[in-house]
């Protein structure tokens, strides 16, 4: 029995989600830590789009390369997460050039926590199911 059918894409995908969540948490906490740093520009992690693109290229549809110089069409999986300076659309009253919006950042932090916990819970259920199958459903 090939191991792919046991450890299918679920765990790999959730692993990416967890990685993205922990990176996003780091960036958000660094933004909060620098709330009083003059000229600090808030950063954000662009991940949802990147994950989507990654999943699509991992699907059954592949670009056919007829010339060696054609692009592969597969997104380079080395780093699907990009950290970029957040574009602040909100009006800013601060004179010190800092673009951190505490309230929005706290909201994003709450969102990230929920996303992370969801992914962790699904991965936990996945392993529980595997364990159950290994034990023949005896427990």
Partner 1 sequence: MDFFDALHVSSSGLSAQRLRMNLISANLANMNTTRTKAGGPYRRKDPVFAALAPSRSQSHEASFREMLGNRQKEHLKEVAVVGIVEDSRPPIKKYDPMHPDADGNGYVAMPNINLMEEMVNMISATRSYEASVTAIKSAKDMALKALEIGQ
3 touches partner 1 by CB under 8 A: no
CA 115 to chain CA mean position, Å: 9
Cα–Cα distance measured from residue 28 to residue 116, given in angstroms and rounded to the nearest whole number: 14
Can you tell me which of 38, 97, 107, 129 binds partner 1, judged by CB under 8 A?
107
Q: Is residue 31 a contact partner of residue 42, using CB atoms and an 8 Å limit? A: yes
CA dihedral 102, 105, 111, 113 (to 10 degrees): -90
24 touches partner 1 by CB under 8 A: no
C-beta of 113: minimal distance to partner 1 in Å?
Answer: 8
Can you tell me which of 1, 64, 71, 91 binds partner 1, judged by CB under 8 A?
91
Q: Which is nearer to partner 1, 38 or 107 (CB)?
A: 107
| Residue 91 CB partners (closer than 8 Å, separation 6+) | none
Q: Where on the chain is the footprint of partner 1 (CB under 8 A)?
A: 49, 89-91, 93, 101-104, 106-108, 110-111, 114, 117-118, 121, 125
């Amino acid at each position: 029995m090939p191991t792919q059918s046991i450890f299918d894409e679920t765990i790999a995908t959730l692993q990416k989600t967890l990685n993205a969540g922990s990176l996003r948490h780091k960036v958000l906490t660094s933004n909060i830590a620098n709330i009083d740093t003059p000229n600090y520009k808030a950063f954000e992690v662009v991940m949802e789009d990147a994950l989507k693109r990654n999943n699509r290229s991992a699907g059954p549809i592949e670009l056919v390369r007829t010339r060696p110089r054609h692009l592969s069409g597969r997104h380079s999986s080395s780093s699907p997460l990009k950290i970029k300076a957040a574009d602040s659309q909100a009006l800013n009253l601060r004179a010190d050039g800092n673009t951190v919006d505490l309230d929005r950042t706290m909201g994003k932090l709450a969102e990230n926590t929920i996303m992370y916990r969801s992914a962790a819970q699904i991965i936990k259920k996945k392993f529980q199911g595997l364990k159950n199958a290994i034990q023949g459903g005896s427990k």
